[in-house]
Amino acid sequence: MKRLLALFIALVCINSMVFCQKKNAGQVRTIVIDAGHGGDKPGAVGKKSQEKTLTLQMALKLGKLIEDNCPDVKIIYTRTTDVDVALAERARLANKAKADLFLSIHCNSWTNPTPTGVETYVMGLSQSKANMEVAKKENADILLEKGYKDNSDYQGFDPNSPESYVMFAMYQNAYLDKSLDFAGMIQEQYKSNIKTINRGVKQAEIFVLYKTAMPAVLTEVGFISNPEEEQYMMSDEGQATIVVSIFKAFLNYKSSVEGTKVPTDLKIDLKGYKAKGTKNSTPTKETPKKTIESPTTEQAYSTVEEPTEKKTEIPVASIPSTMLPSTAQTDVEPPLAIPEPEIKEPVKTVVSTTEDTPDDRVPAADASGVEYRVQFLSSNKELKEGARELKGVKEYSYYMQNGVYRYTTGNFKDVKAAVKRQKEIRELGFKDAFIVAFNNGNRISLQMAKELLGQ
């Protein structure tokens, strides 16, 4: 009898665990906020500040905003004081917590004080020398760790050796979709709120992102090597604007994953915050703008587009001044991140061809074109039918966004049917499969789909 009772209790516990796991699927309940560098690893150094100090200040402010407005979200910091935390340990902390999102905050720097701007990275192979240099800079902390050569976490990785980066060549990122989505939302908020160059969403071999088993991004909030941009990042107004931008991107991401409306009644208690959320209203001194050519200027970086306004090509001569009031914006190295004009790419599918133009601004006259699909895989190359990466999934389609193939399965009017298919796909090993919505072949948010279908 006792054995039966014990078995019953064990079964109840197992069922409860399974229920909790199912309940939290498709939700954002834990975020890890990583303040870059720390302790005896100062990171980049400006004239008046250090990267480790600025990133910690902004990380704590961001966490407070999430705590005040999202009581259902658990916040984990990799550090809350000026201490050294190994890169591998930061990723291990996030993985152990089974976090839903990892965000690393950093300040950029360059060899001269000219460059300015904001950019956000996801894990991937560098597409330019400039991206590789950023990766080397962010990975350089490994060299300051005692016994790093014998640390199995790093597998002999040397941030300064080009040969070491070969280990990333076979990397398969199961969370690339969501990482790109979140990174794109961050850049959109930067563009709306901060007067600076939008350098876009990029990919690079950044070790802390490589080791995290969840959607993960690293955002560079400004150039500490530019004295005026450094001053902005040190100011209350500057930090508030940057942090609120990241926070609103987090809300947009959370809502898109969970299929809920973005909250508007927000508690934002930050010194220096301007409620209107407009671009820096500090008067700027008009100075002539000029173009400085560099060998890699033509390597414009693409930004992941969410259902918002579309980018158009911006002539270098018309790029706005830096986010601070006194200097006209010119740039040399790294190359300017001028968004390319959006070119619609055909979406190749097994049964049809559509176009990828995510846009919530143009609702359909009726709901006949609205459908739900399950997105389960991303790839930098087109996969052949029967490829092992597909794990036996035969009925699938894909659309392209910024050179990435995004594979989906199913075509549903009822979100419950999509959830059922999502469960089947996850059981095949695609644990991060999630539901997306389309309107006449155009990617839209889940919330928009529900509104159009009256659900």
The three-state DSSP-derived secondary structure of 41-73 is ECCCECCCCEHHHHHHHHHHHHHHHHHHHCCCC
CATH code (residue 313): 3.40.630.40
Of 87-101, 307-321, 330-344, 423-437, the one with minimum mean pLDDT is 307-321
Q: Is residue 220 part of a domain?
A: yes
Q: How far is CA 223 from CA 113, 195, 232, 367, in A?
A: 8, 14, 10, 46
Q: Based on the domain organization, do 200 and 97 belong to the same domain?
A: yes
Main-chain dihedrals φ then ψ at residue 110, nearest 5 degrees: -145, 175
Q: How many structural domains is the chain composed of?
A: 2
SS3 assignment for 11-37: HHHHHHHHHHHHHHCCCCCEEEEEECC
Answer left, alpha or beta for residue 240, where phi above 0 means left and psi between -120 and 50 means alpha.
Answer: alpha
Q: Is residue 386 part of a domain?
A: yes
Q: Based on the domain organization, do 288 and 403 belong to the same domain?
A: no
Q: Is residue 23 part of a domain?
A: no
Counts for the chain of helices (H) and strands (E), in that order: 10, 13
Q: Based on the domain organization, do 350 and 314 belong to the same domain?
A: no
Please check the confidence at residue 312 and state whether its pLDDT lies above 60: no
Q: Based on the domain organization, do 389 and 309 belong to the same domain?
A: no
Q: Based on the domain organization, do 68 and 124 belong to the same domain?
A: yes
Q: Based on the domain organization, do 144 and 271 belong to the same domain?
A: yes
pLDDT of 24 reads: 53
Q: How far is CA 258 from CA 23, 103, 261, 446, in A?
A: 11, 19, 9, 8
Q: Based on the domain organization, do 56 and 155 belong to the same domain?
A: yes
Name the residue range of residue 423's domain.
346-453
Q: Based on the domain organization, do 312 and 436 belong to the same domain?
A: no
pLDDT of 171 reads: 53
Please check the confidence at residue 337 and state whether its pLDDT lies above 50: no
Q: Based on the domain organization, do 166 and 224 belong to the same domain?
A: yes
Q: How far is CA 198 from CA 182, 190, 202, 235, 261, in A?
A: 15, 7, 11, 20, 27
- Please state, in angstroms and rounded to a whole number, the distance separating the CA atoms of residues 410 and 395: 7
Q: Is residue 373 part of a domain?
A: yes
Comparing 30 with 325, the larger pLDDT belongs to 30
Last residue of a domain, one of 298, 318, 338: 318
Q: Is residue 11 part of a domain?
A: no
- Please state, in angstroms and rounded to a whole number, the distance separating the CA atoms of residues 66 and 64: 5
Please check the confidence at residue 91 and state whether its pLDDT lies above 80: yes
Q: How confident is the model at residue 105 (pLDDT cuts 50, 70, 90)?
A: very high
pLDDT of 451 reads: 78
Q: Based on the domain organization, do 377 and 278 belong to the same domain?
A: no
Please check the confidence at residue 130 and state whether its pLDDT lies above 60: yes
Of 40-44, 80-84, 175-179, 231-235, the one with minimum mean pLDDT is 175-179
Q: Is residue 3 part of a domain?
A: no
Structure tokens, 92: 């291990």
Taking the whole predicted model, whether its pTM rises above 0.85 is answered as no
Of 127-131, 331-335, 344-348, 392-396, the one with minimum mean pLDDT is 344-348
Q: Is residue 338 part of a domain?
A: no
Q: How confident is the model at residue 210 (pLDDT cuts 50, 70, 90)?
A: confident
Answer left, alpha or beta for residue 155, where phi above 0 means left and psi between -120 and 50 means alpha.
Answer: left
Q: Based on the domain organization, do 99 and 220 belong to the same domain?
A: yes
- Average of pLDDT values for 5-10? 44
Of 141-145, 194-198, 373-377, 412-416, the one with minimum mean pLDDT is 141-145
* CB atoms inside a 10 Å sphere around CB 417: 14
Please check the confidence at residue 281 and state whether its pLDDT lies above 70: no
Q: Is residue 59 part of a domain?
A: yes
- Please state, in angstroms and rounded to a whole number, the distance separating the CA atoms of residues 93 and 72: 20
Token pair 């910024």: residue: 402
Q: Are 179 and 401 in contact (CB under 8 A)?
A: no
Q: Identify whether 215 is preceded by a cis peptide bond (ω within 30 of 0).
A: no
Q: Is the dihedral of CA 343, 130, 134, 328 positive or negative?
A: negative
Q: Based on the domain organization, do 209 and 284 belong to the same domain?
A: yes
DSSP code of residue 80: S
